[in-house]
Amino acid sequence: MADPLTSAAWWPSPAKLNLFLHILGRYENGYHQLQSLFQMLDYGDRLAFVTDESGSVRLQEPLAGVPNDENLVVRAARLLQPCANLPHAGVTIHLDKQLPMGGGIGGGSSNAATTLVALNVLWQCHLSEDELADIGLSLGADVPIFVRGLTAFAGGVGEQITPVAQPENWYLVVNPGIHISTADVFGADELPRNTAPIDWDSYQFETTGNDCQQIVCDRHPEVAKLLQWLVHYAPSRMTGTGACVFATFTDQNLARQVQAMLPAEWTSFVAKGVNQSPLKQKLQEVNATSDTR
Ligand SMILES: C[C@](O)(CO)[C@H](O)COP(=O)(O)OP(=O)(O)OC[C@H]1O[C@@H](n2ccc(N)nc2=O)[C@H](O)[C@@H]1O
Ligand SMILES: Nc1ncnc2c1ncn2[C@@H]1O[C@H](COP(=O)(O)OP(=O)(O)OP(=O)(O)O)[C@@H](O)[C@H]1O
């Protein structure tokens, strides 16, 4: 079927990797104090927004296992609706899902952020990036970083962001096919919660780690097996609370060579790490077009 939406109608919704993830402690509300380096990728889902005056928010392609009312895309749009400067602002949202769900690469949070950033323009809300990030935080700890769209160190629950330029490496991201609940990992008694804080200036991949990795490997031997396979070829680590694992390369061809050797049981993608996300680039293009009108 021909795509009824032009390429310009699509807004990117990229994945992220946590190049490291340390847990420093736990706040009274149960959330954890983290330190992490969020690496934006040039790969992800995409969304298109067909606005109307129906006053309702519709999702054209439901996600298996996620009722539309609970989809972060629909929840984000509904949170923004009162800020619209158009009569009876409504929208039909198209979601082209590529990213595995529950993989630690932030798909749902990124979808929510793209919805906030795009509808802020299309509904003429005129909210600042800070205001969008605040709304995003009420949907999930990872949403603000996707609103800002920059590779960054993060503290707090993940919302205190310090942008930092990183080498734009290539990543082979492998999905062992396991869906992991972030809440289950953070709820585990055996999770280490007392890692000493690091200075951002002294960050090195080799001297950091992912504090969630061991318990996920213990609970899901498939993740341990995947890591053991990947570390033969490149520095590798789990992202977020899993289950995806990434291997780091300076060269795209090397990443693709290793990808070609992966056992068939695991799915994967190769993506470039970027300091500015494709969403941020799209927003700049849209703003540049409207400035010249
Ligand atoms: C661990 C990361 O994946 C790193 O990127 C994220 O910080 C998780 O972010 P997220 O999926 O947006 O998380 P949320 O949807 O806000 O929370 C899911 C669950 O994870 C736990 N959670 C999340 C973030 C955090 N700093 N501490 C937590 O304890 C909470 O139990 C919460 O119920
Ligand atoms: N648009 C959406 N895309 C993906 N998941 C969604 C979406 N809306 C709601 N969800 C729910 O959120 C859960 C987590 O999905 P997500 O793909 O963001 O996990 P994740 O990659 O582990 O995220 P994180 O790294 O932020 O913990 C899904 O299992 C699903 O129930």
ipTM given for this complex: 0.94
Enter the tokens of residue 144. Answer: 């603000």
pLDDT value at residue 4: 64
Determine whether the shortest distance from the Cβ of 136 to ligand 2 is under 6 A. Answer: no
Q: How far is the CA of 293 from the centre of ligand 2 (A)?
A: 38
Determine whether the shortest distance from the Cβ of 109 to ligand 1 is under 6 A. Answer: yes
The string of DSSP codes covering 99-165 is SPTTSSS-HHHHHHHHHHHHHHHHTT----HHHHHHHHHTT-TTHHHHHHTB-EEEETTTTEEEE--
Residues of each annotated binding site: 100-110
pTM of the model: 0.95
* CA dist., res. 99 & res. 103, Å (int): 8
From 232, 239, 231, 229, select the one nearest 262 (Cα to Cα): 229
pLDDT value at 208 more than 60: yes
Q: Is residue 140 within 8 Å of 112, Cβ to Cβ?
A: yes
* CA dist., res. 212 & res. 158, Å (int): 15
pLDDT value at residue 69: 97
Written as one letter, the residue type at 132 is L
pLDDT value at 95 more than 80: yes
pLDDT value at residue 3: 61
pLDDT value at residue 159: 84
Enter the tokens of residue 151. Answer: 């590779």
pLDDT tens for each residue of 219-260: 999 999 999 999 999 999 999 999 999 999 999 999 999 999
pLDDT tens for each residue of 136-180: 999 999 999 999 999 999 999 988 999 999 999 999 999 999 999
Average pLDDT, rounded, for the chain: 95
pLDDT tens for each residue of 2-43: 466 888 799 999 999 999 999 999 999 999 999 999 999 999
Share of the chain above pLDDT 70, in %: 98
Q: What is the mean pLDDT of residues 56-82?
A: 97
Determine whether the shortest distance from the Cβ of 185 to ligand 1 is under 6 A. Answer: no
pLDDT value at residue 1: 45
Crossing angle of the two packed helices 72-80 and 107-122, in degrees rounded to 10:
30
Active-site residue 184, yes or no?
A: no
pLDDT value at 293 more than 70: no
Tell me the domains of the chain and their CATH numbers.
9-285 (3.30.230.10)
